[in-house]
Amino acid sequence: GENVEQHPSTLSVQEGDSAVIKCTYSDSASNYFPWYKQELGKGPQLIIDIRSNVGEKKDQRIAVTLNKTAKHFSLHITETQPEDSAVYFCAASMGNAGNMLTFGGGTRLMVKP
Amino acid sequence: EAEVAQSPRYKITEKSQAVAFWCDPISGHATLYWYRQILGQGPELLVQFQDESVVDDSQLPKDRFSAERLKGVDSTLKIQPAELGDSAMYLCASSWGTGGNTEAFFGQGTRLTVV
């Protein structure tokens, strides 16, 4: 089955700096890659996703890149703010398996004011 | 804004007792998932429903866990008997359907503590 590795496990940045979180996946059949933000005591919230026919997608301060050849994808957050502090999860899924998501281990992002 | 509803938010139970969690997906979502999230880890799929049918329950510990979605709308996940290792966040998610590439929306989860 699919295996998703996520790095780093913790990331501390100064407010205004950029943050980058990287994930690798094992199954080349995966074609959908969402990112979730999870705040303490809450469920994961979808923040951005990318499909295999696209190399990059941007939404305001958040961008995601996908390299299918290398089987890795990354989340980029620019101009970080204290409210960006949370745990971020990457995930991967294969279309023919419904939408079963395999998650990475998570990255705890801390933005220091 | 439509949300996935889960109850209770928190549950403390003694080991060997039975416990149940309830989920009401976003209206119109045919696919429903139950995930378990151990503290400090990513969510792991327990069971997936398409309408009232189980699509995947390969990771569900069937000796103690059961899940149902009788009318293809809301769902119940049950643990009997609960064990100390079952302490975790139980998350429900829903999406429009299978075929892939459709967003999954999560509820707030039920935090289970087994003592």
More confident residue, B97 or A49: A49
Q: Read off the pLDDT of each residue in A92-111 and give the average, rounded to a whole number.
A: 84
What are A29-46's pLDDT values in tens digits?
898 999 999 999 899 999
Name the 3-class secondary structure at B12: strand
The reported pLDDT for the residue numbered A59 is: 94
With an 8 Å Cβ cutoff, are A98 and B107 in contact?
A: no
Amino acid at A24: T
With an 8 Å Cβ cutoff, are A100 and B48 in contact?
A: yes
More confident residue, B54 or A99: B54
Q: Which long-range contacts (CB under 8 A, 24 or more apart) does B46-50 make?
A: B46/B77, B47/B77, B48/A98, B48/A100, B49/B75, B50/A98, B50/B97, B50/B98
What are B29-88's pLDDT values in tens digits?
999 999 999 999 999 999 999 999 998 899 999 999 999 998 889 999 999 999 999 999
**What is the nearest CA distance from A30 to chain B, expressed in angstroms?**
10
